[in-house]
Amino acid sequence: MSDTAVNVTSKKDWASDQEVRWCPGCGDYGILLAVQQLMPELGVAPENTVFISGIGCSSRFPYYMNTYGVHSIHGRAPAIATGVAIARPDLDVWVVTGDGDGLSIGGNHLIHALRRNVDLTILLFNNRIYGLTKGQYSPTSEIGKVTKSTPAGSIDPPFNPLSVALGAEASFVARTHDLDRKHMMETFRAAHDHRGAAFVEIFQNCNVFNDGQFTDIVRRQNRDEMLIELVHGEPIRFGADRQRGVSVGADGQLRIVDVAEVGEEAILVHDAERNDPSLAFALARLSNDDHSPTPFGIFRRVQRQEYASAIAAQLAQASERKGPGDLAALLRSNGTWNVTSTN
């Protein structure tokens, strides 16, 4: 993100020569298109861009980008990306992961990358299912979900990815979905421009193993009533006539209300830059299923020290205090004595 020179590229400069091999109709295609279309607008260069992924359907993503990339190990992308980012703060580092990869096997790395605020743009494709292993429940699957590994229904309470990210002290948290390229591009752009770890949950449809999971919310004809768009500084309202909104109840709970009933002044004004994460957390948990109004957009965007620059500052400080590294002096740092040869 330190690229200052604007690089002129076109969408085709960002597509690799590899055939895209997701299932026909997969939501991943829309996300890939949004990213490839966004990159020229960011003015960055393919050679300064790195995509790191783990394992899963979404993790094939780097193969389709004409950038540097690593398709690594299940769950480990945030750790490997952290290594890239701290070694080379000059690079744009993206992480592509999924609900299984990022929240199950790799949950530890994800939360610690967010906690450290490493300068990464993390895209978590959430389809609430294990696709690449052909249909087992995931850590975001709802209770009762019947899958190959849960024929009697899942009994595991699911994670809310945004709650996890906020709990891990993430400085940028957003949600978008695979059917709205414009919204994805806007969200990805903001995530990219954020200095520090940016976490984006993408509702992504797996049309083979979990088709239609998000349809109630994201289908075009449902969006007005079901999709609550968060805009920083604006009252949180939705509905075809923006007749509904979110307000804070007397008990501190967020509630969906009719604006006419409570009055405009009772509607919560969205403040993504609020340092206290509790409202963002409450918004992230406004809906606990995929069948009721659900907020999208940027939940939280705050500035705090980015990890690689903190490392660089300590290196600079050490050089200033001790001078540049001197190997001969290092070997003498425990104290020495001389032995005189008599030969």
Partner 1 sequence: MPNRHRVVVITGPERYGCRWERGRTYMTDTQPGAPDIDEASLLHRLVVRFAGDSGDGMQLTGDRFTSVSASYGNDLSTFPDYPAEIRAPAGTVHGVSAFQVHISDHEITTPGDQPNVLVAMNPAALMADLGRLERGGTLIVNEDAFDERNLQKAGYATDPLGDGSLDTYRVIHVPMTSLTKEATASLGVKPRDAERSKNFFALGLVSWMYTRPIDPTLEWIETKFGTNELVAGANREAFLAGYNFGETTEAVGHRYEVRPAQLPGGEYTSVTGNTALAWGIVAAGQLAKLPVTLGSYPITPASDILHELSKHKQFGVRTVQAEDEIAAIGMALGAAFAGHLGVTATSGPGVALKSETTSLAVSVELPLLIVDIQRGGPSTGLPTKTEAADLNIAMYGRHSEAPLPIVAAYSPTHCFAAAIEAVRIAVKYRTPVILLSDGFLANGSEPWRLPDVDTLPDISVPFATAYNGTDSDGEDVFYPFQRDPETLARPWAIPGTRDLMHRIGGLEKADVTGNISYDSENHERMVKLRAAKVARIADDLPPIELVGDLDADVCVLGWGSTWAAIDAGVQRRRREGHKVAWVHLTHLSPLPNDLGDILRRFERVVVPELNMGQLCRIVRAEYLVDATAVTKMQGLPFTTAEIEAAIDTALDAVASNGGTPTTTTDNHGQGRP
Verify binding: residue 196, partner 1, rule CB under 8 A: no
| Contact between 96 and 58 (Cβ < 8 Å) | yes
Verify binding: residue 314, partner 1, rule CB under 8 A: yes
In angstroms, rounded to a whole number, what is the distance separating the alpha carbons of residues 127 and 71?
20
210-232 b/e (C-beta count within 10 Å ≥ 16 → b): beebbeebbeeeebebbbbebee
Binding mask 252-291 for partner 1 (x = CB under 8 A): ----------------------------------------
How many residues can be counted in the chain?
Answer: 343
- By CB neighbour count within 10 A (0-12 exposed, 13-18 middle, 19+ buried), where does 339 fall? exposed
Among positions 109, 177, 244, 301, the unique one binding partner 1 when judged by CB under 8 A: 109
Residue 297 CB partners (closer than 8 Å, separation 6+): 174, 175, 176, 183, 187, 229, 230, 231, 270
Q: Where are the alpha helices (DSSP H) in 119-197?
A: 161-167, 181-193
If the CB atoms of residues 71 and 189 are measured against partner 1, the closer one turns out to be 71
Verify binding: residue 4, partner 1, rule CB under 8 A: no
204: which 2 tokens?
């992504």
Q: Smallest distance from the beta carbon of 56 to partner 1, in angstroms?
A: 12
| Contact between 36 and 14 (Cβ < 8 Å) | yes
91: which 2 tokens?
């690079």
Q: Smallest distance from the beta carbon of 35 to partner 1, in angstroms?
A: 15
| Contact between 125 and 204 (Cβ < 8 Å) | yes
If the CB atoms of residues 48 and 141 are measured against partner 1, the closer one turns out to be 48
Residue 42's CB is within 10 A of a number of other CB atoms, namely 18
Q: Smallest distance from the beta carbon of 170 to partner 1, in angstroms?
A: 15
Q: Judged by CB under 8 A, which stretch of 134-142, 185-193, 248-256, 323-331 contacts partner 1? A: 323-331
In angstroms, rounded to a whole number, what is the distance separating the alpha carbons of residues 242 and 260?
10
Q: Judged by CB under 8 A, which stretch of 63-71, 207-215, 265-273, 283-291 contacts partner 1? A: 63-71
Applying CB under 8 A, what is the total number of residues that bind partner 1?
63
Among positions 58, 66, 138, 171, the unique one binding partner 1 when judged by CB under 8 A: 66
Of 260, 251, 259, the C-alpha closest to 282 is: 251
Verify binding: residue 30, partner 1, rule CB under 8 A: no
If the CB atoms of residues 67 and 117 are measured against partner 1, the closer one turns out to be 67
Q: Smallest distance from the beta carbon of 305 to partner 1, in angstroms?
A: 15
If the CB atoms of residues 82 and 187 are measured against partner 1, the closer one turns out to be 82
Q: Smallest distance from the beta carbon of 72 to partner 1, in angstroms?
A: 6
Among positions 2, 10, 25, 88, the unique one binding partner 1 when judged by CB under 8 A: 88
Q: Judged by CB under 8 A, which stretch of 154-162, 239-247, 270-278, 321-329 contacts partner 1? A: 321-329
Q: Judged by CB under 8 A, which stretch of 31-39, 46-54, 176-184, 297-305 contacts partner 1? A: 46-54
DSSP codes of every residue in 109-126: HHHHHHHHT-SEEEEEEE
Specify the DSSP element, H or E, that contains 198.
strand 198-203
2: which 2 tokens?
């330190």
If the CB atoms of residues 120 and 282 are measured against partner 1, the closer one turns out to be 120
If the CB atoms of residues 45 and 262 are measured against partner 1, the closer one turns out to be 45
In angstroms, rounded to a whole number, what is the distance separating the alpha carbons of residues 314 and 333?
20
Verify binding: residue 170, partner 1, rule CB under 8 A: no
Q: Which residues make up the interface to partner 1 (CB under 8 A)?
A: 16, 18, 46-52, 55, 62-63, 65-73, 76, 79-88, 90-91, 108-109, 112, 311, 314-315, 317-319, 321-325, 327-328, 330-332, 334-343
